[in-house]
Structure 1
Amino acid sequence: MRPVTSAECAAAASIGSPAAVPPVAEAVGMDVAAEASTLGTSASSTSDPHEIGAAVSIVDGNTGSHNVNGGTTGIEEQLELCKEENARLRAEKAELEAIANKPCKPGWVLESDDTVHYYTGLPSVKVFHSLLDLILPHLNQKVKSGRPRQLQPADEFLLVLMRLRLGLQIEDLQHRFRLKAKSRASKIIKKWIPLLACAFKPLLVWPSRRRVLQCMPAAFKAQQTYKNVRIILDCFEFEMEAPSSLSLNTMTYSRYKGRNTVKVLFGVTPDGFVSFVSRAYPGSISDNSITIKSGILDMISPGDDIMADKGFTLSNSELQPRGLRVVVPPFRCGAVQFSTQEVETTKVIANLRIVVENCIMRARYCRFLRNQIPVSSVRTASDIVLICAVLANLRPPIR
């Protein structure tokens, strides 16, 4: 082993001295002083007092108090906004509930003639009010004491017309008019149908021969053979539910339509005015039988002509005593072709009697007659068809 030199001894003594390795406390104090000196320099170099305050708060450790105060203020503002929104929504809900609890009024339908025509089949608002004034005396005679009405007479009148015009279901009417029970809508319809039929029946006027001649269209006047036509007849069938009774099912089954129907006879003047509507009969009845049973032959004067389809094959024994004549298109039972004259006659009569088909189509503007009517409505079928015929007459004339 070599001996230690004097230089090595001096180096070891310098490493172990206190000045070479400072204590931990002194090192930490030096770091904090340096950090404070750096922050002080930054604060002095800026001119914004908020930044200086932020720096001081960081040094003092007070940052948390400032953040908590700002967050509390924001939450309180949001809570106030939520309370205001909640109050507004509650008020809106109460308003909507008040509107929903009120019965439906006809004002939304009576805003214009177009809406009245669509929902009721009437041509204008004025006609609606005129008919209502005509019906009210009949309604007042049938008013009975009892529970207060949910709907006013105008609302009930509108409900019935919408049922006929649009063919709406009872449940639909209940919701539209905000009735408490479905039975209430059925009772209103059951009460109003006979009432309307009684009030509308005088509007089906049987015109005199002079009046018919005055309003005779030019197409009839041009044909000397048909200038004495007083009335044009045709039958109208609409479908009904099949009855559960076998006998009723057989009576109402129409071979022509292939289903259960109700049959009604229409009488129309040459200018397109419905002047006669028979009672409703089962669909199995023939055209001749319904013509005789309806009593229309007793209303026609001697010398008048009746124009009809080829299904009306009335015998001379029924027409000659009354002095009447039936104008029908020629028809063949076998395979013999029509002559040129017969073809021309068929064309002329078909063009003239198209008016009765147009009137039936106008009556069927009420969709209730286009749908399958329930068995419960068959008893009032005569009144319903009469009402629809009057509504057809109230529309603008056929040109």
Structure 2
Amino acid sequence: MASSSSTPSYRQCCVPGCHNRKNRCPQLPGGTSLLCGCSSLSSTSCPNAASILKLFSLSSMSETVRKIVLRRISRQDARGRDWIPGSSAVICNLHYEERRGPSAKDKNILPTVFSHKTYRTSRLSAIPEIEGICASSEDFVTADPVAVEHNDDDVMMAVPPVCEEECQRKDCAELRDENAQLRIERSRLQVALEKKRFCIDSLTSDAAVKFHTGIVGLKTFNILWAWLEPAAKSIVLFPSTKGVTDQTVERIRLDHGYPARQMSGASRKICLQDEFFMVLLRLRLGLYEEDLAYRFGVSIAYVSKVMGAWLPFLFKHFSKIISWPQTTAGPKWDVLAYFPNTVAAIDCTEIFTEKPRKLSTQKATFSSYKNHTTVNYLAAIDLYTGSFVYMSSGFPGCTSDRKTVEKSGLLELVKPGQRILADRGFKVADLLAERQAFLSIPSFLKGRAQLTGQEALYSRKLASARVHVERAFVRLREFHYINRRQNNSTTQGTLDQIMIITAALVNLQVRLIGERH
């Protein structure tokens, strides 16, 4: 409800239908006749107006008196709501009995004469309560302790203290009822919210768990969470994930996912298990932060903080799931008989990125093979189980396969006598020979029309063994986050963490190479 925005230089009575104001011929309520004796209505220069008309400010009245006056005035604003008087609102004395308004000695006199109705009660002491308006004891100047009978317009009440106690009891009872109803409503909404909230318990089958998280079933998820939960309790949600450098990421890796300086972090809106589930959803389905915020009932900024805190933590723990084989002993299936002492098969995969702004960076990251800017990763697959045993850090898209192997650190893991299977592009036989290891790659034509029978059989057997590398990459690509084109704000360290985490999750699935081999 709004009061009048501006007040004219003159003051006019606020009662609807009354136009009495200073220096204007005063009229009875309803505008029936003039009281000043003038022959015609004068709006600005009535000589008798000052002696007849008096104006009383509503703001100078006590709160109880003002409420009763506004109730009797029955004025509404332009929108049909109760009118709120401004500081300059006044009422003329012609609405009072014998035209006598409030005075310094008696401020509790009420107006009774209006064009729409005439009231009989003109004193506040006779009206302790009118239609829900209760007068306090300080508003009574001359209070009569005896009950008084009133007309239909008023209510008969006892002495003011009794009225006040009765009102307090009534208000307390109403508040208690309202509080009980609100508690019931709150409980109902909490139950509804729990049913609506998306969590791991919402998934009722192992197929649903694998689709949303990449983990084969709910039992495996619970085992994995039981392993992570003790350490996850110390995870801190950073105030912001912007501006995190690779040096910071490396420090986070070494210190359980947190910088050396202790930080209080943001308050949690969901439990730790739901945060872990949120990270898996983002990696597996490639959901946007807006989608995850809606599913879990949190803000987009909170989703970003969860990802920034959990990725380093999972990187540290999941790195243990990817380990280089200590021996080449394993099930001897027919293909590997052609390649004794094989420890792994290697190949490269890539993640597409946005085009960088700097031309030098564009040149470094552009892959002529994919015709796009990429980040390349070298991966090694155990041919006895089909699991990832190595995942390198990222390299710019223009880096050759030989440079990738040379700088990745893979050669340091290879022991003398072991064999590596690779594609034709990996011309690293000399690098492996330095470590007394062997490389098996498909045969080259070398200007000939076709391969010899022995070379063709050798290449065909090698392709049969290396096909499991592509099968492993297919499982890796089922984590759709790495299929998206990464924006330039994503750091190299974050992509390295994601590749390690997704490769570890692939290792937790059913064996890629079955017992039949």
TM-score normalised per structure 1? 0.70
Structure 1 window deviating more from structure 2 (156-165 vs 361-370): it is 361-370
Q: Which residue number corresponds to residue 252 of structure 1?
A: 365
Q: Specify the SS of the correspondent of 2:215.
A: coil
Q: Which residue number corresponds to residue 40 of structure 1?
A: none
Q: Which residue number corresponds to residue 270 of structure 1?
A: 383
The code of the aligned residue for 2:291 comes to: D
> Structure 1 pair 302/367, CA: closer, same or farther in 2 (3 Å)?
same
Q: Specify the SS of the correspondent of 2:439.
A: strand
Which residue among 489, 493, 517 is the counterpart of 1:376?
A: 489
Identity %: 31
Shift of 1:216: 4.0
Q: Which residue number corresponds to residue 131 of structure 1?
A: 224
Which residue among 192, 205, 224 is the counterpart of 1:99?
A: 192
C-alpha distance after superposition, 1:250-309 (max 9, x if no partner): 111111100011110111111212111111111111111111111111111101111100
Q: Which residue number corresponds to residue 7 of structure 1?
A: none
Cα distance in structure 2, aligned partners of 1:101 and 1:107: 12
Alignment of 1:214 with 2:311, yes or no, is no
Q: Which residue number corresponds to residue 444 of structure 2?
A: 331
Q: Which residue number corresponds to residue 84 of structure 2?
A: none
- The answer to whether the 8 Å contact 1:103/1:150 transfers is no
Cα distance in structure 2, aligned partners of 1:389 and 1:147: 30
Cα distance in structure 2, aligned partners of 1:228 and 1:101: 55
Cα distance in structure 1, aligned partners of 2:418 and 2:265: 53
Which residue among 302, 310, 313 is the counterpart of 1:195?
A: 313
Cα distance in structure 1, aligned partners of 2:443 and 2:491: 35
Cα distance in structure 2, aligned partners of 1:147 and 1:325: 53
> Structure 1 pair 146/228, CA: closer, same or farther in 2 (3 Å)?
closer
Higher relative contact order, chain-length normalized (CA < 8 Å, sep 6+): 1
Alignment of 1:167 with 2:296, yes or no, is no
Q: Specify the SS of the correspondent of 1:117.
A: helix
Q: Specify the SS of the correspondent of 1:214.
A: coil
- The answer to whether the 8 Å contact 2:233/2:272 transfers is no
Which residue among 384, 390, 393 is the counterpart of 2:504?
A: 390
**RMSD value, Cα:** 2.4
Structure 1 window deviating more from structure 2 (335-344 vs 94-103): it is 94-103
Shift of 1:141: 3.3
Cα distance in structure 1, aligned partners of 2:197 and 2:490: 25
- The answer to whether the 8 Å contact 2:198/2:295 transfers is no
Question: After the TM superposition, which residues 310-389 of structure 1 pair with which residues of structure 2 at under 5 Å, given as runs?
Answer: 310-316=424-430, 318-332=431-445, 334=447, 336-379=449-492, 380-389=494-503
Which residue among 116, 124, 141 is the counterpart of 2:234?
A: 141
Question: After the TM superposition, which residues 50-199 of structure 1 pair with which residues of structure 2 at under 5 Å, given as runs?
Answer: 95=188, 99-100=192-193, 104-143=197-236, 144-179=263-298, 181-199=299-317
Cα distance in structure 2, aligned partners of 1:311 and 1:198: 32
C-alpha distance after superposition, 1:322-347 (max 9, x if no partner): 10111000124646433333222221
C-alpha distance after superposition, 1:96-136 (max 9, x if no partner): 68735998352444422111111000011122122222223
Structure 1 window deviating more from structure 2 (319-328 vs 368-377): it is 368-377
Q: Specify the SS of the correspondent of 1:322.
A: coil
Structure 2 alignment gaps of length 5 or more: 1-183, 237-262
Shift of 1:172: 0.8
Number of matched residues? 302
Q: 4+ runs of 1 displaced by more than 4 Å? A: 91-98, 100-103
Cα distance in structure 1, aligned partners of 2:466 and 2:371: 25
- The answer to whether the 8 Å contact 2:352/2:375 transfers is yes
Q: Which residue number corresponds to residue 115 of structure 2?
A: none
Cα distance in structure 1, aligned partners of 2:217 and 2:398: 39
Cα distance in structure 2, aligned partners of 1:245 and 1:97: 52
Which residue among 272, 281, 291 is the counterpart of 2:395?
A: 281
Rg bigger for which structure?
1
- The answer to whether the 8 Å contact 2:375/2:397 transfers is yes
Shift of 1:245: 2.1
In proportion to residue count, which structure has more helix?
1
The code of the aligned residue for 1:167 comes to: G
TM-score normalised per structure 2? 0.55
Q: Specify the SS of the correspondent of 2:233.
A: helix
The code of the aligned residue for 1:186 comes to: S
Q: Specify the SS of the correspondent of 1:353.
A: helix
Cα distance in structure 1, aligned partners of 2:207 and 2:318: 23
Structure 1 window deviating more from structure 2 (141-150 vs 385-394): it is 141-150
> Structure 1 pair 246/100, CA: closer, same or farther in 2 (3 Å)?
farther
Q: Specify the SS of the correspondent of 2:314.
A: helix
The code of the aligned residue for 2:355 comes to: A
The code of the aligned residue for 2:217 comes to: S
Structure 1 alignment gaps of length 5 or more: 1-90
Cα distance in structure 1, aligned partners of 2:457 and 2:448: 19
Cα distance in structure 1, aligned partners of 2:196 and 2:307: 17
Shift of 1:235: 0.5
- The answer to whether the 8 Å contact 2:402/2:426 transfers is yes
Shift of 1:396: 0.6
C-alpha distance after superposition, 1:56-83 (max 9, x if no partner): xxxxxxxxxxxxxxxxxxxxxxxxxxxx
Question: After the TM superposition, which residues 22-41 of structure 1 pair with which residues of structure 2 at under 5 Å, given as runs?
Answer: none
Shift of 1:161: 0.3
- The answer to whether the 8 Å contact 1:120/1:162 transfers is yes
> Structure 1 pair 107/300, CA: closer, same or farther in 2 (3 Å)?
closer
